[in-house]
Structure 1
Amino acid sequence: MSKRILKRYLPRGLYARATLILLLPVITLLLVVSLVFAQRLFDDVTQQMVKTVAREVRLVLDEPEGSPVADALEIERRRVSEADMPATDSYDWFDISGVVVVRELRGYFPDLARVSLSDSQVVMLYFQDGAAVTELIFDRRRVSARRPYQVLVNLAFYGILMTAVSYFYMRKQLRPISRLAEAAEAFGRGRHVPYRAAGALEVRAAGNAFVDMRARLERQIEQRTLMLSGVSHDLRTPLTRLRLSLAMLDEDEAAPMLRDVVEMERLLEGFLAFARGAHGAEPEPVDPIALVRQVVEDAQRAQSPVTLIEAHGEGQIALRAENIRRAVENLIGNAVRYGTRADVSVTMTDKSLRIRVEDDGPGISPENREEAVKPFARLDPARNQNRGTGVGLGLSIVLDVARAHGGTLRLGESERLGGLCADIVIAR
């Protein structure tokens, strides 16, 4: 429990944590040294100095008034009225050694009436004998160390200086890690950022491993795209010949076979869309609300029962517009295929973009949602596949698009319509 509470208040960034690791021992050392120094300087040293002055004060008090002893010891002695004596002991609130001075003097002189340290240059002692009041004045430097704060100021100055030097050095060491994180995040969003491994040996090894991994993934993506594009392209030629041959047959006899050809062409389009994936042009600033509204209007013109029910937020976000359009179209197509209506909503905040598509169909059970986003997955009982045909690439393409933008696809149950609720969530 305590670990969770402590973790909540610790910084999350690498720079902030490294700075905390750097500052914590420096500040702790400064505090310890300052406390030890204050105890020695403001307590022990002051006690020794007050002890010496107390002997001199006792000599002056034992001599009659006008004795040359006071002048020799540089202590001014004079008679004052009781009204001139302060009501209480006085010293400045920030005078740390003043507390020790007053305490020690009262320990040496039980008959001491008042001690005044208000004037930081002198010490004024008042001894009362009946109605007579004797005032003794001597230099404050005789009971307090000169410039006692100088050591503390030096400690603070050099502590800050060394911390700044260490911070700039640490920042130089952490910069390769930050560059590696930026390159990895950009690759997760489908962008290729130039990166060269640098820094310490461990950081350099991690950077080289990332570069190798990125190269392998890019080769795999390219090979997948080329393979599926080649297969889909080669199949178009025989399908075209079949369509031409069926066009020469009797219309009633050829109609079922033409439907099969159309279905095969649709499947090929799905393969090509999956082959293209979420990669392509670099992201550009796009108004996602306007983009989704246009997709909904296009679907409505195609007589699809879809409605844009909510659109909150404003501004632009870097997106691959065509890929987002394809993802939203896939979600709307699935919604109207397995239900009777589709409701679309868009919400933009300072941190994220959420595009939600809900339907009133049978939905997908929680245990099947992970399987549903896999390529070529077909969940017959969950999505009532007898109402539509496909190869199971719709949700997989949507997930690819979301991940290429640094987001994800979330599947759940629609509270409004009771069917499937699909959210594309992208961080801004």
Structure 2
Amino acid sequence: MSFAWLKHYMPRGIYARAALILLLPVVVVQLVVSVLFAQRHFEGVTVQMADTVEREINLVLNVLSDLPPDADVTQAVLDATGPLAMIVQRIPEEALDAPNQRDWDDFSGRVVIRRLGETIPAIRSFDLSGSGLVQIAVESGTGPVSITFDRRRVSARNPHQLLVYMVVFSVLTTFVSFIYLRNQLRPIRRLARAAEAFGRGRHLAYVPAGATELRAAGTAFVDMRNRIERQMETRTLMLSGVSHDLRTPLTRMRLALSMVDDDTRDALEADVDDMQNMIDAFLDFAKGDGESEPKAVDPIALAQTLVEDAQRGDQPVTLHEVNGQGTVMLRPIAMRRALGNLISNAVRYGRRAEVSVALTEKSLRFRVEDDGPGIPEDRRADAQRPFTRLDPSRNQDKGGSVGLGLAIATDIARAHGGVLRLGESERLGGLRADIVIAR
């Protein structure tokens, strides 16, 4: 039998699930104890007390059977059985057929009616709705009478005490358990926040704490984070040297080309420019986001600046639509690089490009659209991989492309905890590239 449907009703957070694991047994135990208590206490004790009252009622009925039809039954029973504290009164004949009455939550009253009705056939109806009294209608030897006595004679006194104690101590132990549970889950949540922040490129202070297993996991995370940060630092230092070492011979080549004949210089300078662009692309991809800490950035102003820069460079780029206002924690240099790559790709493979920004309470979306040939759906995942060059439909032969533009944008989006999504532009018919970041 499959219980997969239960997953839709299970809480998502570890704290809520742990609370459910804690509360479910407590509730089940309370229900079981309540049922057992009702069966053993309410029913067992009530039956014993009803049997005692049954003998007293039979004694009263014996006294009534010897009286004439017009006798004062109240005084006669009081004289004969005064210590029983039962009040006997004559009632009309139709009162014998009255329905049984009791409160809906009177569980012991159900037992009293059943037990006395079985042991005393002369009882015709019960009324247990009175304030602490039991009144029964009986067909006696001297006519219809009602017998009234204290309810405490057939029901245990304060029967709710055990239930009250059970609920109170259950609430108390649950409260104490919640305190310990929160202390045990706090290190897990701190580890999750630190891991999430590190995944988004932020360094959140974290010290392993909690149980032994949690400390071991936390220590492993800290060691892993330190190793990755050391590798990133080493990579940055290496790239600084590589950048200098590669740019220096290119500069010398440019100086040498300035003294070459005009016929061959233009072609060689174009090759040098392509090499320069390739090296810049390699270094941009290797640098990643290039910033250590995010800052509060106005995404709309960032997009406007990029569009204006592109327009100053005679690129057919416009700002199509902006929605929302506010700031988002971003690495501005890295995000400029990612959007710049998307805009460059758009104007490279299309005749025009449009940029849109949508800012909501939950997410930020940068969108760049073009009217170019686009990317087939089955090749979009490949297009985001480094050094991937697609078929000629993307006009890749326009010079200097090494297949890193979308890969850099994808890497930067992931570093911000977001994603790069490629699709088809419904308005322009070309490629639609969305950088979506959760706030």
Q: TM-score, normalised by structure 2?
A: 0.89
Q: How many residues align?
A: 428
Conservation of the 8 A alpha-carbon contact between 2:413 and 2:419: yes
1:238 aligns with 2:286: no
Alignment of 1:246-265 (within 5 A): 246-265=257-276
Could you tell me how far apart the structure 1 residues matched to 2:384 and 2:424 are? Answer: 15
Note the C-alpha offset of 1:283: 1.6
Of 347, 351, 364, the match for 2:362: 351
Q: Contact between 1:229 and 1:272, CA under 8 Å: does it hold in 2?
A: no
Q: Structure 1 residue 57: deviation in Å? A: 0.9
> CA 1:340 to 1:103, structure 2 compared with 1: closer, same or farther past 3 Å?
same
Structure 1 counterpart of 2:281? 270
Q: CA deviation at 1:385?
A: 0.9
Distance 1:409 1:305 in 2: 23
Alignment of 1:11 onto 2:11: yes
Question: Could you say which residue in structure 2 is the equivalent of 1:293?
Answer: 304
RMSD of aligned residue pairs (Cα, Å):
2.6
Q: Deviations over 1:231-279 (max 9, x none)?
A: 1122222222333333345555433333333333333332332343214
> For structure 1, which runs of at least 5 residues remain unmatched after alignment?
none
Report the Cα offset of residue 10 of structure 1: 0.7
SS for the counterpart of 1:63 is helix
User: Structure 1 CA distance, aligned partners of 2:97 and 2:393?
Assistant: 93
Instruction: Give the 5 Å matches for 1:116-135.
Output: 116-128=127-139, 132-135=143-146
Say whether 1:315 aligns with 2:326: yes
Cα distance, 1:364 vs structure 2: 2.9
User: In structure 1, the residue corresponding to 2:423 is in which secondary structure?
Assistant: strand
SS in 1 for 2:3: helix
What residue identity is the alignment partner of 1:303?
A: D
**Equivalent residue, structure 1, for 2:434:** 423
Matched with 1:45 is 45
1:170 and 2:181 correspond: yes
TM-score w.r.t. the length of structure 1 is: 0.91
Deviates more, 1:224-233 or 1:307-316: 307-316
CA distance in 2, matches of 1:151, 1:284: 60
Quote the residue 2:389 is aligned against: 378
Match of 1:32 in 2: 32
The worse-fitting range, judged by mean Cα deviation, of 104-113 and 321-330 is: 104-113
> CA separation of 1:39/1:11 partners in 2, compared to 1, >3 Å: closer, same or farther?
same
Question: Matched residue of 2:81: which SS?
Answer: helix
Tell me how far apart the structure 2 counterparts of residues 375 and 229 of structure 1 sit (CA, whole Å).
Answer: 21
Residue 68 of structure 2 corresponds to none
| Alpha carbons 1:365, 1:382 under 8 Å: kept | no
* Deviation, structure 1 residue 46: 1.5
Give distance in 1, aligned partners of 2:54 and 2:325.
Answer: 78
d(CA) in 2 for partners of 1:111 and 1:316? 86
Of residues 390, 403, 409 in structure 1, which corresponds to 2:420?
409
For the Cα contact (< 8 Å) 1:402–1:424, is it kept in 2? yes
Q: Determine if contact 1:190/1:279 at 8 Å carries over to the other structure.
A: no
Query: Which of the residues 106, 119, 129 maps onto 2:117?
Result: 106
Amino acid of the residue matched to residue 6 of structure 1?
L
Stretch deviating more after TM superposition (189-198 or 286-295): 286-295
Which residue is 1:158 aligned to?
A: 169
The answer to whether the 8 Å contact 1:337/1:388 transfers is: no
Q: 1:144 aligns with which of 155, 159, 162?
A: 155
Greater shift, 43-52 or 30-39, is seen at 43-52
Instruction: Report the identity percentage.
Output: 57
In 2, are the aligned partners of 1:229 and 1:275 still within 8 Å (CA)? Answer: no
Query: Which residue of 310, 333, 338 corresponds with 2:349?
Result: 338
d(CA) in 1 for partners of 2:163, 2:260: 102
2:194 matches 1:183: yes
Give 1:198's aligned residue: 209
User: CA-to-partner distance for each residue in 1:308-366, whole Å, 9 max, x for gaps?
Assistant: 33333443321112221211111111111112222333333443322222223233334
Residue 67 of structure 2: aligned partner: none
Looking at structure 2, the residues matched to 340 and 120 of structure 1 have their Cα atoms a distance apart, in angstroms, of: 91
TM superposition outliers: structure 1 runs of 4+ over 4 Å: 80-87, 128-132, 248-253
Tell me if structure 1 keeps the 8 A contact 2:291–2:333.
Answer: no
Runs of 5+ in structure 2 lacking a partner? 65-72
Q: Distance between the aligned counterparts of 1:408 and 1:3, measured in 2? A: 33
Instruction: Judge which range, 51-60 or 126-135, deviates more.
Output: 126-135
Measure the CA separation in 2 of the matches of 1:320 and 1:202. 35
